[in-house]
Amino acid sequence: GESVGLHLPTLSVQEGDNSIINCAYSNSASDYFIWYKQESGKGPQFIIDIRSNMDKRQGQRVTVLLNKTVKHLSLQIAATQPGDSAVYFCAEPSGGTSYGKLTFGQGTILTVHP
């Protein structure tokens, strides 16, 4: 979803657990999504992206799942580490390109406890 003055939801996990962060979108024509990680006091960092012709994409310790039927995507982080603590955003570039202007989702604060 898109953020309009909402405060971010939070997720707390223990080190070593798997984390799942969710994102909903409203436009059924959306065909490209990016997940970003934002550490405190810094700008967003690219994590992984996915196009609508895929249901799943894997990276290093991260997996993104896309369910077009319910317009939902998730970011799964395996064996979560304290360094994963950050705010995670899904984002959609305009025009379905990798470089269009971004609309960010609400974001989720992930806290990993040692």
Query: Which residues are near another protein by CB under 8 A?
Result: 2-3, 5-8, 34, 41-46, 49, 89, 93, 97-99, 101-107, 109
CB of 58 to another protein, least distance (A): 18
Helix/strand/coil percentages in the chain, nearest 5: 5, 50, 45
What 3-state DSSP class applies to 56?
Answer: strand
Report the half-sphere exposure of 63 (CA within 13 A, side-chain side): 9
Strand partners, 65: 56, 74
- Residue with smaller CB distance to another protein, 25 or 93: 93
Nearer to another protein, 2 or 55 (CB): 2
- For residue 73, the minimal CB distance to another protein (Å) is 16
Q: How far is the CB of 102 from another protein (least distance, A)?
A: 7
